[in-house]
Structure 1
Amino acid sequence: MSGVDDGNSPDHNSAGTVVIGGGLAAAHCAHELRKGGYGKPITIIADEDAVPYERPPLSKEFLQGNKTADEFRPFPEEWYAEASVQLRLGLTATAIDTANKVVGLSDSTSIDYENLVIATGCRSRLGGRASNMTGWDLPGVHTLRSLADSQALKEQLVEGRRLVIIGAGWIGMEVAASARAAGVQVTVLTPDEVPLAVAMGTEFGSHVARLHIKNGVHCRFGTMVNGITLDPESGLKVMTSTDAVAADLVLLAIGAVPNNELAAEAGLEIGTGVLVDAQLHSSDPSILAIGDIAEAFNTTLGRSLRVEHWDNAIRQGKLAAATILGREEAYDWLPYFFTDQFDLGMEYVGDRAADDDVVLRGEMDSGEFIIFWLRKGLVTAAMNVNIWDVNDHLRSLVGKSIAAHRLADTSVDLLSL
């Protein structure tokens, strides 16, 4: 390390950077700081007992038993000690004293900071707290946000068992695919008429629905869930407006809620998340927010947005470090995410709106196609499905004016667009 601050090793006599949250964004912030020559103390406060890890495998490879936790940690455990990054696991931050720049912790200790980075992420939206659904806290009812959650769910995915998933968003549909791979009987209950329609539109959502049905998932769209009951003899039942669905286990996949409370109590400005500028500064210039929690101003899109995806966590972690290091960088990239379900793999980049025009390149029935979204003739987003090594090019097309017929015409070389 070299070039920033005044030495090659951390100065433990000075207040440095404290990161609240032990996820992907936090890990990349710490790593980028050390990579950039930051010589002051770095402390990560993590409420889980696990070394920082990536979350996408929790509903896919880890849940299927195809990856171990060590395989999806961005940096091995030993790196933190080697880089003099202090991991304080199993602790939560209880208060932020912005006047004195002190964070209070759940073990009754406190830590001073020069720069504070809030990376507290999201928690699962629980049925009982989000609606009038009863039984959300019964034994056998799961949520999926953490490594421990995924491990507990994986242990229950035994061939022949009955899993009811409430919700048809990304987590719900990915877990449905993973559970079917384990031979589990899966029923998806959702009030939506089409899965993923809000995120991706009805065209792609309908394709995903057909894929799941073809692979044996029992999908009940337009179904309201009223509650969950547990009978000692008959087991779990999910009560809908018309009937009761028997289950051996239930997954609540009805969304996530940002962990705003600590920031709000500290007096920071809150919107859908912690409001930050293009350099990720909050309303307190000594405090940054990153990852799922941050509603950040995007200079490319010209507006603030909050993004709950893997790519954004990595990039914002690095950007927070750049800001602390005094580099002139900004939040200027387009949202990106991916999914894998059965034999479908896709990547998406851009910022579509519900009323954007949809242009299909290729045939959905073939399983290999690209979808473009246009607004007033400009490409707003693009998604490649089972067509690889093209997403960087699709990213370059966002914001350009391209005729819809050229986008749809497979005889036109994609790279020439």
Structure 2
Amino acid sequence: MSNSKSHVVVVGAGQAGAGVAMALRNNGFHGAITLIGDEPHPPYERPPLSKDVLQGRTAVEKTWIQPISVFNEKEIEVRLDIRVTAIDAERRVLTLSDRSQISYDKLVLATGARPRMLTLPGTNNDRIHVLRTIDDALRLSEQMRTAKSIAVVGGGFIGLEVAASARAMSVAVTVLEAAPRLMERSLPESVATFLADVHKENGVAIVTNARLRGFEQSESGVRVLLDADDFLDVDCVVMGVGAIPNTEIAEICGLVVQDGIVVDEYGRTSHPDIYAAGDVTRHFNPLLDRHIRLESWQNAQNQAIAVAKAITGEPEAYAEVAWLWSDQYHLNIQTAGNPGDWNDFVWRGKPEDGKFTVLALADRRIIGAICINNGRDMRYARQMITNRVIVDREKLADPATPLQSLSR
């Protein structure tokens, strides 16, 4: 689709939406492109929000994917601080929150996800935060600059990144996790225990099997009501209990939705003129032969490129090993694969070495990897997962044997 009279509208001006718009131009699409976002900020990257932005070490402008001037140079119309309220898929017309309408030839939904909130009494409190947007990060950062203590509800990646940032700001932190351990859905127990120990060494209190009854206003800020009439008084609370894909507009116009907008490996939805990309999608992954939903920078970036290629008539399946990273204290944590499939592990190195790799195996093949301060291994682990390389377990466990040599 390269007709100069064609119009592609992208709804959602985050990493995926901006990626689609830029990739369309880079792939030679000469038609009109409109990028619509419901935030007032130019498209930006989210990973720095829980780290450098939260700690006040970097300006929000540093998170921008590109300044608006670059979008203008590429003749991409960017409309910010406005929402799409309706899609008429038959007429190919969008209705916006200012009651204006815009027509399209192809539509891309990159509406992302929103933080999940616990449905507990007292959550309507300006000292109870989520962290998803620039504005979220700035509000939380302002309170943390004067806070003495915070509670982080949820012991996943986002919660632990916030905990690490708070400790860097000399704020006392208590992590409240409902599960028996941290990172239950993301890391094997041995690695999660190592990570919990690092947080404890840095002064974080961790409460597992935590049961919350609600929240109340207190003199210091927030009283977190726990089981058995116990409570915790803190200056503010951060919720990190998962995300919900923003599928409402897709459901209204009749697209197939199942914990995300269902798309194929090219980002095509159940309607021939509508595509979707990023956190909002449940996409078919040819490597796994099933649909999955991912919330990661890599997925938003690379699925967007695949969607742009499909729209411009050069389809290339999006088939990648899931990969994400997290920075906490002195640790760079990278994971690849789908943790729900893991139950057999080989360690390369030890935590006391300062860096190590844990590989998940099935039928003598690597299906997952966790690299702690060992990013070099991740490159080859991902190759081996993709290529289904059969490995020698003893050599794999020997850190002196380069993973690169085994990947051949």
Match of 1:118 in 2: 109
Pair 1:407-2:393 in alignment: no
Match of 1:209 in 2: 196
Q: How does 1:215-234 map to 2 (within 5 A)?
A: 215-231=202-218, 233=219
Give aligned pairs, total.
Answer: 403
Match of 1:34 in 2: 25
C-alpha contact 1:291 1:308 (8 A) present in aligned 2 = yes
Letter in 1 for 2:54: L
Distance, in Å, in 2 between the alignment partners of 1:201 and 1:326 is 42
C-alpha contact 2:147 2:235 (8 A) present in aligned 1 = no
Pair 1:235-2:224 in alignment: no
Q: Residue 412 of structure 1: CA displacement?
A: 2.0
SS, match of residue 80 in structure 1: helix
Q: Higher mean Cα deviation, 352-361 or 97-106?
A: 352-361
Q: Residue 214 of structure 1: CA displacement?
A: 0.3
Match of 1:72 in 2: 63
TM-score (norm 1): 0.94
C-alpha contact 1:237 1:247 (8 A) present in aligned 2 = yes
C-alpha contact 2:342 2:368 (8 A) present in aligned 1 = no
Distance, in Å, in 1 between the alignment partners of 2:2 and 2:278 is 26
Q: Residue 235 of structure 1: CA displacement?
A: 3.3
SS, match of residue 117 in structure 1: strand
Q: Residue 265 of structure 1: CA displacement?
A: 0.8
SS, match of residue 197 in structure 1: coil
Q: How does 1:14-413 map to 2 (within 5 A)?
A: 14-128=5-119, 133-158=120-145, 161-231=148-218, 233=219, 235-242=221-228, 243-398=230-385, 399-413=388-402
* 5+ long unaligned stretches in structure 1: none
C-alpha contact 1:164 1:188 (8 A) present in aligned 2 = yes
Q: Percent identity?
A: 34
* Residue-by-residue CA offset, 1:278-302 (whole Å, 9 max, x unaligned): 1110000100010001111111221
C-alpha contact 1:29 1:318 (8 A) present in aligned 2 = yes
TM-score (norm 2): 0.96
SS, match of residue 37 in structure 1: coil
Q: Higher mean Cα deviation, 99-108 or 192-201?
A: 192-201
Q: 1:18 to 1:225 in 2, by over 3 A?
A: same
Runs of 4 or more consecutive aligned structure 1 residues displaced over 4 Å after TM superposition: none
Distance, in Å, in 2 between the alignment partners of 1:271 and 1:388 is 34
Distance, in Å, in 2 between the alignment partners of 1:297 and 1:94 is 27
Q: CA RMSD in A?
A: 1.4
C-alpha contact 2:111 2:280 (8 A) present in aligned 1 = yes
* 5+ long unaligned stretches in structure 2: none
Q: Residue 67 of structure 1: CA displacement?
A: 2.1
* Residue-by-residue CA offset, 1:27-53 (whole Å, 9 max, x unaligned): 111111111121111111101000000
Distance, in Å, in 1 between the alignment partners of 2:313 and 2:257 is 25
Q: Residue 191 of structure 1: CA displacement?
A: 1.3
Letter in 1 for 2:68: E
Letter in 2 for 1:413: P
Distance, in Å, in 2 between the alignment partners of 1:220 and 1:144 is 21
Distance, in Å, in 1 between the alignment partners of 2:184 and 2:191 is 8
Q: Residue 63 of structure 1: CA displacement?
A: 1.1
